Amino acid sequence: MEVQFTLNGKKVSTKIAADTVLLNLLRDLGCKSVKCGCETTNCGLCTVWIDGKSRLSCSVLAASIDGHEVTTLEGVEKEAAEFGSFLAQEGAEQCGFCSPGFIMNVLAMFRELKNPSIEEIKEYLAGNLCRCTGYMGQLRAIQKYMEVRNTAVNITVKKMGGEE
């Protein structure tokens, strides 16, 4: 069967078997940031965005993305690098194996939640497992990133004559 979708802003048309999992298709298409860590939808390493919403690509049949938009870490490199610098400043970046899925969820959370509390951040990211770090450095990095990004957004809105 053939699927056509948008991957990181580019149109893709490819043949797949009916039982192909999105995780495997994305890796075959060169998106090496999408990783398999558990095969049970428990670790978050395979997180991608489908039409802007976080999804675990290991639990999605590739046939179901026909006509949809898929974004991987490769498609948000600039934002990912910016947040990655906040992780590094907090000493929360270790081996990097879980980072792509974690970063995809943090960026999605930034787009969905306005000024989330620590508890809301923890709940949003509950499905992302990290075996190298304690989560406190990651939480500090998230809070600082969101503070800086929200300030930048507010400044831009003011310059454009809008309201906060």
What is the tens place of the pLDDT at every residue in 61-115?
999 999 999 999 999 999 999 999 999 998 887 777 888 999 999 999 999 998 8
Q: Phi and psi (nearest 5°) for 11?
A: -70, 135
Q: Inform me whether the pLDDT recorded for 5 exceeds 80.
A: yes
Q: Tell me the three-class secondary structure of 74-143, residue by residue.
A: HHHHHHHHHHHHHHHHCCCCCCCCCHHHHHHHHHHHHHHCCCCCHHHHHHHCCCCCCCCCCHHHHHHHHH
Question: Is residue 63 classed exposed, middle or buried when 0-12, 13-18 and 19+ CB atoms within 10 A define those classes?
Answer: middle
Has residue 163 been placed in a domain?
no
| Domain match, 84 and 56 both | no
Residue 97 in tokens: 């194996």
Whether residue 162 lies inside any domain: the answer is no
Strand order of the β-sheet with 53-56 is 10-15, 2-7, 69-71, 47-50, 53-56
pLDDT (mean) for 10-27: 98
Domain membership of residue 136 as a residue range: 76-157
User: CA–CA separation, 1 vs 20, rounded Å?
Assistant: 10
Higher pLDDT, 31 or 151: 31
Q: 28 or 160: which carries more pLDDT confidence? A: 28
Mean pLDDT of all residues belonging to the chain: 90
What confidence tier does 130 reach under pLDDT thresholds 50, 70, 90?
confident
Q: What is the pLDDT, as a whole number, of residue 158?
A: 63
In a domain, residue 164? The reply is no
Measured from the Cβ of residue 12, the count of other Cβ atoms closer than 10 Å reads 14
For residues 47 and 112, state if they share a domain: no
46: CATH: 3.10.20.30
Angle of helix 77-89 relative to helix 99-112, nearest 10 degrees?
100
Domain final residue pick, 74, 89, 117: 74
What integer pLDDT is reported at residue 16 of this predicted model? Answer: 98
* pLDDT at residue 163 greater than cutoff 60: no
- What's this model's pTM, rounded to 2 decimal places? 0.85
Q: What pLDDT, on the 0 to 100 scale, is given for residue 4?
A: 98
